[in-house]
Structure 1
Amino acid sequence: MLEVHDFLRYSRPMNLNEVGVEGQLKIKKAKVLVVGAGGLGSPILTYLAASGVGHLGIVDFDRVEIHNLHRQILFQESDMGQYKAILAANRITQLNPHIKVETYQEKLTAINIQSIFESYDYIVDGTDNFATRYLVNDACVQFNKTLIYGTILGFQGQLAVFNHRQSKDLRAIFPEPPDPSDVPNCSLNGVLGTFPGIIGTMMAQETLKVILDLNPLHNQLVIIDTFNWKIQTLVF
Structure 2
Amino acid sequence: MSFPIDIREQAGVRTLHFGSDWIQGAMRIARPWRLELDYTREMMASLLLRDAARFPRNVLLIGLGAASLTKFIYRHYPLTELTVVEIEPRVVAAARQFFKLPEDASRLNIVIADGSQYIANHDKTYDLILVDGFDANARPGELNRLPFYRMCRARLNNNGILVVNLLGRSRGYQSSLERIKTSFDQRALAFPSCDSGNVIAIATTGEKIEIALNELKKQAHELKAKTDLNLLPTLVRLEQAKSCAGGILTI
Q: What TM-score results when the alignment is normalised by the length of structure 2?
A: 0.41
Task: Report which structure shows greater RCO (CA 8 Å, sep ≥6).
Answer: 1
Would you tell me which structure has more strand in proportion to its own residues? 2
Q: Normalization by structure 1: what TM-score?
A: 0.44
The structure where helix makes up a greater share of residues is: 1
